[in-house]
Structure 1
Amino acid sequence: MERMAKELQQIRSHGLYRSLRTIESAPDARVQIESKSLIMCASNNYLGLANHPRLIDAACNAIQVFGTGSSGSRLITGNTVLHEQLESQLAGLKGTEAAILFNTGFMANLAVLSTLLGEGDVIFSDELNHASIIDGCRLSKANVVVYRHNDMADLEKKLLQRVGHGGNSRILIVTDGVFSMDGDIARLPEIVELADRFEAWVMVDDAHATGVLGAHGGGTADYYGLPSDNVHVQLGTMSKVLGAEGGFVAGSQLLVDYLRNRARPFIFSTALSPSVIASAGTAVELVSKEPERRVRLHEIARRVRDGLSYLGFQVLPGETPIIPVILGDPERAVEFGQRLEANGVFAPAVRPPSVPPGTSRIRLTVMATQSDADIAQILNAFTRVGQELGVIA
């Protein structure tokens, strides 16, 4: 106990202590947080579907028919027609033969990496991949080679070093589609080209890309116009754009059948509740039928990103609704977030270990449901706080 107390004190002294905030309203463009009405600028609810009336109705109807819980794993008592329908919908969204559900995106990454790879195999992983990919790589017991972020020359060099000697090792290149802290997009066509040369599989985690990128909202492969069979494993979540919870993997029927029979996180987990599945299925419909939500989202992202850059903030380049404003020092970032909140904007600081040391930031995210008045208030708040703290002139 004394050791834990000392470690927590050390975390506090470095400005890295974390505590929970209490949200008292539905997830929307504006939320009630501890009795304050704030513009939400830290949510992954990019299209504003998490409190959409149709999703709520679908969840309520599912409870009336199927009850509140699934009662068991998918392979025993937890499989309903709703689960099967959603998997079919997700495969359609991704343009793949099949899909399989997991209880979280984190579990989906653990499942794929620990099931498909093992000792003697090689995983090439982007240095900024999500923690769930990192943990999945560790769990797989494969050899892990980390390449510099989005650096295709470095990936090629390391592929040549590790793969050019032949052998029967399975090779996987894994990357986030949209990187959650930087907001940039993986260079997927070049990754696919390298994978073809070195007879490797490609896995992309589209947690922040599904419903956001692509002409059809299909994610990173859709964004680049890549055939789905060029990307062997497409992973996503229902907890962001789709406004529900859970994760999924889309790919060939063979891949899905194999995961259903071998992936321990699937076999030994109670299935997601019917209400969650029903609401996610309705969200997939809205993603497909209401592309104007995506258009609005990207319009808002451009306006906010351009506005902050014009004001003089250090904004990482990109075109997604994740807009990182780099402040460097964790204490400064925390103070900046607190002052934003005092100005009606909820965008807390992101600090190590979520980001590398020296890159603490405000990870600003925007939503399709935010109004022009919301955008103006966001930019005004950043202007005021940035001037107060000497971040901008």
Structure 2
Amino acid sequence: MTLASDRPFAPGGPGTGPDATGEVGLAWLAGAARDRAAAGLHRDPHVRRDGAAEINLGSNDYLGLSAHPDVIAGARDAARRWGGGSTASRLVVGTTQAHVDLENELADFLGFEAALVFSSGFLANIGAVTALAGRGDLIVSDTGSHASLIDGCRLSRARVVVVDRGDHEAVRAALADRTEQRALVVTDSVYSIDGEPAPIADLYAAARAHGAVLLVDEAHAVGVRGPGGRGIVAEHGLSGAPDLVVTSVLSKSLGSQGGVVLGTGLLRSHLVDCARTFIFDTGLNPAAVGAARAALGVLRANPDLPDRLRANARHLARACGAEEPQAAVISIIVGDPQRAVAAAAACRDRGVLVGCFRPPSVPPGTSRLRITVRADLDTATLDHVAGVVDEALRQVGVR
């Protein structure tokens, strides 16, 4: 089915009349909504209620730190000291000492010379990509790249070559065939849809062999993989390596909000001067900064948390009859988007929240339940979740 929302829509100037479909103004939205509903692609945000007895396995709160008392106290104390908002862009008066301290602590923990905090991971990726590549440059991205990397590629106006997920030989070929002097390779280190790791060492070797820069999004790896939760890059001994840029988030394992780009001091200075999503965006709010700093402190003090998380993920995967995960995501393919929605709803009705991923987040025919495990759950809870998931899948005819 071709969705109405897939049609290119370029409004004309005043008095140009209806578009090619005969629809004036925003009248086409009604048809687009009907098409999405018919294809099982309509979405309504789930509203969490205070006090609701739900087991949340749909979030990315991998270590369960969003509700940790130290993290809550960190947010509260920062808000009391600095206020409810940062009040301005980072370059005006939106940078507090807490922002600087968080950047230094993140750089130290992840093994880089410097870090720059953005108000979200999405904006960190867009800011980094567009500041490092532009018209007349080449970007090589793979099909597993997060939407923020994809949008960064589009906004950069660079020539973009898309290769199959993790295909480092295709990356080498694209870099070898280029006519552009500068090139950037972008990838997730752990793919967000199914938790599979990318071949980071091979991708870095390919980039270095052809004078390119590798940008790695570690959003789903920090707090999950690597020594003490330092990520896939650290796992391969590449932290602080030349011509390597790492992005990550404060909104997953660190239980807060925000994004970060890590690299050299010169890279940080370049981003401050050139990354539009840093220059023109209001700085990350102080409470989120305080929460992230506290969460990082908890992770430092409990380096076994990532091991506990991955053990829980393996246990739940076995109980669900799913493949053993290599990170913290269990992906159960349902196929049809409407069945996936029904299965997620059946889980929710039984008090278990799981993710439901449909196109365009995943390829057509691969709609799925995406279950994200947490380090703070016990075995009895995990076994209960497995029973709920199995019953929901049987209810929609998948098992």
**How far apart are residue 168 of structure 1 and its match?**
5.2
Counterpart of 1:330 in structure 2 is 337
One-letter identity of the residue aligned with 2:133: L
Are the counterparts in 1 of residues 138 and 161 from structure 2 also a CA contact under 8 Å?
yes
Q: 1:13 to 1:67 in 2, by over 3 A?
A: same
Of 253, 256, 273, the residue aligned with 1:244 is 256
Q: State the 1:348 CA deviation.
A: 4.0
Is 1:305 aligned to residue 291 of structure 2? no
> What does residue range 146-225 of structure 1 map to in structure 2 within 5 Å?
146-160=162-176, 162-163=177-178, 167=179, 169-225=181-237
- Give the aligned partner of residue 20 of structure 2: none
Does 1:356 find its partner at 2:368? no
**d(CA) in 2 for partners of 1:62, 1:157:** 49
**1:338–1:348 contact (8 Å) kept in structure 2:** no
Q: 1:229 aligns with which of 220, 230, 241?
A: 241
Structure 1 unaligned residues grouped into runs of 5+: 26-30, 310-314
Contact 1:221 / 1:228 at 8 angstroms: preserved in 2? no
What do the CA deviations read for 1:265-316 (whole angstroms, capped 9, x no partner)? 111122112221111111111112112221211110011122223xxxxx46
1:221–1:231 CA contact under 8 A, matched in 2: no
**What residue is the counterpart of 1:11 in the other structure?**
36
CA contact 2:309–2:328 (8 Å) conserved in 1: yes
1:231: Cα distance to partner?
A: 5.7
Contact 1:304 1:375 in 2 (8 A): yes
Gaps of 5+ in 2: 1-25
Q: C-alpha separation between the residues in 1 aligned to 2:187 and 2:223?
A: 18
TM-score if structure 1 supplies the norm length? 0.92
- Alpha-carbon offset, residue 230 of structure 1: 4.6
Instruction: Please provide the CA RMSD for this pair.
Output: 1.5
Q: Distance in 2 between matches of 1:227 and 1:269?
A: 28
Q: Which residue of 2 aligns with 1:366?
A: 373
Aligned sequence identity (%): 37
Alignment: residue pair count: 374
Q: Which residue of 2 aligns with 1:28?
A: none
1:237 and 1:246 in contact (8 A); partners too? yes
2:110, 2:128 → 1: CA distance? 17
Q: What's the offset of the Cα at 1:121?
A: 0.5
Distance 2:95 2:54 in 1: 40
User: Which runs of structure 2 are paired with 1:1-150 in the superposition (5 Å)?
Assistant: 1-25=26-50, 32=52, 37-150=53-166
Q: Determine the C-alpha separation between the residues in 1 that align with 2:149 and 2:141.
A: 8
Q: Following TM superposition, by how much is the alpha carbon of 1:389 offset from its aligned partner in structure 2, in angstroms?
A: 3.3
Partner residue of 2:18? none
One-letter code of the match for 1:216? G
Partner residue in 1 for 2:303 = 291
State how far apart, in whole Å, the 2-side matches of 1:227 and 1:21 are: 38
Q: CA deviation at 1:321?
A: 0.8
In structure 1, distance between residues paired with 2:355 and 2:213: 37
